A and B are shown apart, each in its own frame.
Chain A
């Protein structure tokens, strides 16, 4: 028996080439785990006394997450793989503060408490300053939304998201219109800083409860008390793998992406399980995403070019992205026991050098990006537009994106930066992982009468599946 086991071990033993392949991915192709996000339910922190809620929230976050950063660092050492971010997501704050907050300023104190707690445990971002208003807004929801500009401006690490629609409920156009104003206000309040607060604010249609990626992460009410979600990445790994199959047909192309996605996701699954074990917190999901960074070679746009496009945005881009997104999911699904979150290719502009180049070359427009969001995860992400874009136009852009999500039963999002005082030809510097963005032109024609109608857009016919 012992001999058989010994033999089996020898046959399955990892060899030099496999080890070299993995380490090459880490060292040269930017393979990393993008984030370990600890979701924490704050439902038990609710109180009608504002000070008590603040105390409860601070205590809960700093207790549950006290070992998160250190555990992340230990796992990095054990496996020799970088874990770029350790983050926290919490229950949407509109639900937690609803009983205690009597004004938007009351909500701001909760954002500041989140910020203090995030700093105390050493995470770089905390998500969940959020409201879910896909059908209607409660008073608390509206107060939270109105507090967003000040909340983001007086905190460093807090991220905010608002769910404005879903396939089941339709689109809350009142909230869409309001967010047009709020995004502009958020830009104005931080105009000395390139309107940077806007990059911590995202609106969704069909927002997932278990997304580990910022700025849209929150801990949904359907989730357990605490849960570990992991987001993997690795555009560079896919790009390098595709370099070896240049000129081959689509079958070979798709197989290559699928196999690579499998390998990348397995690393995420391993890290998620290890983190879950070390922290004693259940494992939630792995988010199979190709998340780019501004680092050279860590770009989704470069993959599209490798597939055969001169620039991202050229005709064929939507088809190329559709197949990329699908193969990433097909490979990833088998690699992990639970997948969730956003899962797919991200196409942020400022965080992807290839996207920036495409915009600068005139190959990629807002309209093309909108088409691309029909076939990949997320949506219009990290896009800088002229600061004088009317609020109603911002609301119109949001409405279009929400409609794509609603009709296609997928998550879509808008994270747009109206750069105050800047216009075409200028660029906005965000720094670090957020990169920089050239200002993109926006359609000049008005949608004012449309977005000012008020009310909501009904759910589409195919949502009635009962």
Chain B
């Protein structure tokens, strides 16, 4: 059931470089996190990506994923945030 699935939003913002998407996707695949949607733009050399993912299959705690993705971001030189979808839903949908 699509509606009951807990969705998570991952955002990646930073200077564009080779292999950003590959590295993030590798991490997600290694942790059984399924990607539902990706949108991405580059504005004035800045890489801006949003992913909607399903974290139901992963064995890891949400907090651990948040920290590991942030760490991965530091290594690549971009900022990666991982947040539950509800915060955006509640703010932008009545």
Contact = CB atoms under 8 A, between A and B. Distances in A.
Given A5-B3, A6-B2, A23-B11, A12 B84 contact: no
A272 to B, nearest CB: 11
6 contacts: A21-B92, A22-B91, A79-B84, A79-B86, A80-B87, A263-B92
State the main secondary structure of chain A at its contact with B: helix
A449 interface: no
Contacts of B2: 2, 5-6, 9
Interface string B52-94: 1000000000110010000000000000011111111111110
A20 B9 CA distance: 11
A267 interface: yes
A18 B92 CA distance: 7
Given A5-B3, A78-B62, A80-B83, 20 more contacts: A2-B2, A5-B2, A6-B2, A9-B3, A13-B52, A14-B52, A14-B88, A15-B39, A15-B50, A18-B88, A21-B92, A22-B91, A23-B81, A74-B63, A79-B83, A79-B84, A80-B66, A263-B91, A263-B92, A269-B90
Contact of A81 (B9, B39, B87): B87
A18 B3 CA distance: 20
A22 B86 CA distance: 12
Interface in A1-46: 2, 5-6, 9, 12-16, 18-23
Nearest to A74: B63
B84 A78 contact: yes
A266 interface: yes
B88 to A, nearest CB: 4
A270 B92 contact: no
Contacts of B37: 13
Interface residues of A, number: 27
Given A13-B37, A19-B11, A19-B50, A266 B81 contact: no
Nearest to B63: A77
Q: Which 9 interchain pairs have the tightest Cβ spacing?
A: A80-B83, A79-B87, A266-B90, A14-B88, A18-B92, A270-B90, A77-B63, A16-B50, A263-B91
A263 to B, nearest CB: 5
A162 B83 CA distance: 41
A82 to B, nearest CB: 12
Contact of B83 (A9, A15, A78): A78
Interface in A50-81: 74, 77-81
A79 B63 CA distance: 10
A274 B83 CA distance: 14
A14 B11 contact: no
Nearest to B88: A14
Interface of B: 1-3, 9, 11, 37, 39, 41, 48, 50, 52, 62-63, 66, 81-93
Interface string A105-128: 000000000000000000000000
Contacts of A79: 83-84, 86-87
Contacts of A14: 9, 52, 85, 88-89, 92
A79 B52 CA distance: 14
Contacts of B41: 16
B91 A266 contact: yes
A113 to B, nearest CB: 33
Nearest to B85: A14
A442 to B, nearest CB: 44
A16 B91 contact: no
Contacts of B39: 15-16
Contacts of B48: 16, 20
B57 to A, nearest CB: 18
A267 B84 CA distance: 12
A5 to B, nearest CB: 6
Interface string A124-167: 00000000000000000000000000000000000000000000
Contacts of B62: 77-78
Contact of B91 (A9, A15, A267): A267
Contacts of B85: 14
